[in-house]
């Protein structure tokens, strides 16, 4: 029997490709809407194009679980990198807004396969006493990549124009694929005989009690996390800050976010998942509640930093909870369903803000998201079991 994987052992084959992939995701994030407007889209239609990535993730979660279960985690990641490379070529060549929307949707589909395969791999390969640190580190690497990406994208755009950002993602995805191919695959703790012959529908039906409780909690977490990316720039605009100042504030919030992933994982492994999940959502809810009270650069920066702390505390928590709840047989299929809840929350958070703002105004909409954060904290307190083994269904 092979020895269990350690974080150092898996770093080259899991975290380095994830960093490369995350840099690419970060590079294109600021330019998708602008690319759409260059093709003639209105601001509303450009928003739809941006949302296509989230829709692609939601559509891809369940099939990603089935695919990963069938062909294995490493092959699924390789397939996802090929798909995203093809999608990025389509982005570069898209003659119309709707072709661009389809291509961006395909990048979201690839992201769902890539993300699920990495999560399933770490859930299998890392012993449970290191699981939270492994998955929070994965979440931290994604954050670091997303932080670096826009700067590399801006540098590339100096020489290649708007296409430069897409080329950064293309090169990052290609390099990630090369790393995955060149490094030996780490053997799983489990044997391949445990691969599920059960249908995806059967796995979901069997574990529906977990999905309709902890899964709903993951949906709430996803919604309040995604809202953070919307409410900071909107409130900055509301109080009259310029785009450069807003970008600096958002960047500082992201920097704080990046620093907390390993401490968060260590606390989860040593104390339990609730010790991170509940405070994370409480702090995010509190920061949303305080945001409408800010009226200057200094106060907005303070609240944005508090949001960064809340979000950083939760690095990897949803992936860890999904891994804890997943069965040994049919793990990838279960994770696909669990991720569907979180990704639905990620997509619905900004939509909830938009709808509430249209009906009540921006301030009340942000307060509603504060309530959503505290509802997520209550759900985590209620449904996270005291020990990760308690939710495993084997």
- Reported as a pLDDT band with limits 50, 70 and 90, residue 390 is very low
Mean pLDDT of the chain: 85
- Tens of pLDDT, residue by residue over 296-354, are 999 999 999 999 999 999 888 999 999 998 887 888 889 999 999 999 988 888 888 88
Going by C-alpha positions, the residue among 164, 163, 161, 118 that lies closest to residue 141 is 118
- Reported as a pLDDT band with limits 50, 70 and 90, residue 243 is low
DSSP calls for 299-350:
HHHHHHHHHHHHHHHTTTHHHHHHHHHS-SSSHHHHHHHHHHHHHHHHHHHH
Q: Does domain 199-394 have CATH number 3.40.50.10860?
A: no
Taking the alpha carbons at both ends of the chain, their separation in whole angstroms is 21
pTM of the shown model: 0.84
pLDDT value at 141 more than 60? yes
Structural tokens at position 338: 């669990």
Specify the higher pLDDT residue, 222 or 196: 222
Specify the higher pLDDT residue, 216 or 188: 216
For the chain, percent of residues with pLDDT exceeding 90: 37
pLDDT value at 241 more than 80? yes
- Reported as a pLDDT band with limits 50, 70 and 90, residue 193 is very low
pLDDT of residue 175: 92
pLDDT value at 388 more than 70? no
Q: In terms of CATH architecture, what is 1-195?
A: Up-down Bundle (1.20)
Structural tokens at position 339: 């991720």
Please give the Cα distance from 170 to 160 (Å, whole number): 14
Apex CA 15: angle with CA 12 and CA 16, to 5°? 60
8 Å CB contact between 127 and 4: yes
Distances, alpha carbon 101 to alpha carbons 57, 325, 384, in Å = 13, 34, 37
Going by C-alpha positions, the residue among 261, 27, 38 that lies closest to residue 138 is 261
Domains of the chain, residue spans? 1-195, 199-394
Please give the Cα distance from 265 to 188 (Å, whole number): 22
Specify the higher pLDDT residue, 234 or 44: 234
Q: Say yes or no: do domains 1-195 and 199-394 share a fold.
A: yes
- Reported as a pLDDT band with limits 50, 70 and 90, residue 74 is confident
pLDDT value at 31 more than 60? yes
Tell me the H-state helices in the chain: 7-10, 16-28, 32-38, 43-71, 73-93, 97-125, 131-160, 163-182, 200-206, 208-211, 214-238, 243-259, 261-271, 274-290, 297-313, 317-325, 331-360, 362-383
pLDDT of residue 5: 58
């Amino acid at each position: 029997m092979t020895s269990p994987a350690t974080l150092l052992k898996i770093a080259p084959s899991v975290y380095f490709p994830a960093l490369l992939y995350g840099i690419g995701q970060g590079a294109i994030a600021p330019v998708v809407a602008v690319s759409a407007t260059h093709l003639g889209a209105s601001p509303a239609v450009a928003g739809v194009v941006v949302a296509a990535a989230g829709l692609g993730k939601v559509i891809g979660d369940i099939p990603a679980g089935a695919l990963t279960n069938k062909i294995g985690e490493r092959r699924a990641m390789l397939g996802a990198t090929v798909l995203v490379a093809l999608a990025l070529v389509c982005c570069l060549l898209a003659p119309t807004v709707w072709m661009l929307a389809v291509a961006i949707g395909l990048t979201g589909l690839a992201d769902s396969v890539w993300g699920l395969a990495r999560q399933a791999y770490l859930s299998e390969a890392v012993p449970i006493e290191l699981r939270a640190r492994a998955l929070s580190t994965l979440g931290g690497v994604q954050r670091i990549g997303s932080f670096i990406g826009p700067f590399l994208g801006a540098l590339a755009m100096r020489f290649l124009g708007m296409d430069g950002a897409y080329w950064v993602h293309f090169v990052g995805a290609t390099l990630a694929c090369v790393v995955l191919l060149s490094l030996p695959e780490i053997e799983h703790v489990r044997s391949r005989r445990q691969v599920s012959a059960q249908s995806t529908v059967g796995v979901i039906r069997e574990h529906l009690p977990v999905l309709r409780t902890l899964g709903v909690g993951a949906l709430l977490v996803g919604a309040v996390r995604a809202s953070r990316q919307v409410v900071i720039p909107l409130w900055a605009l509301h109080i009259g800050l310029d785009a450069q100042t807003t970008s600096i504030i958002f960047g500082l919030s992201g920097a704080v976010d990046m620093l907390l992933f390993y401490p968060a994982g260590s606390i989860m492994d040593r104390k339990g998942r609730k010790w991170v999940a509940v405070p994370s959502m409480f702090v995010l809810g509190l920061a949303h509640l305080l945001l409408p009270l800010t009226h200057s650069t200094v106060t907005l920066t303070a609240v944005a930093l508090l949001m960064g702390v809340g979000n950083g505390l939760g690095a990897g928590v949803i992936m860890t909870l999904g891994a804890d709840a997943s069965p040994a047989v049919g793990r990838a299929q279960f994770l696909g369903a669990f991720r569907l809840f979180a990704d639905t929350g990620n997509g619905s958070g900004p939509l909830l803000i938009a709808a509430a703002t249209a009906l009540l105004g921006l301030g009340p909409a942000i307060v509603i998201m504060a309530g959503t954060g505290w509802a997520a904290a209550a759900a985590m307190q209620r449904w996270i079991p005291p020990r990760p083994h308690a939710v495993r269904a084997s």
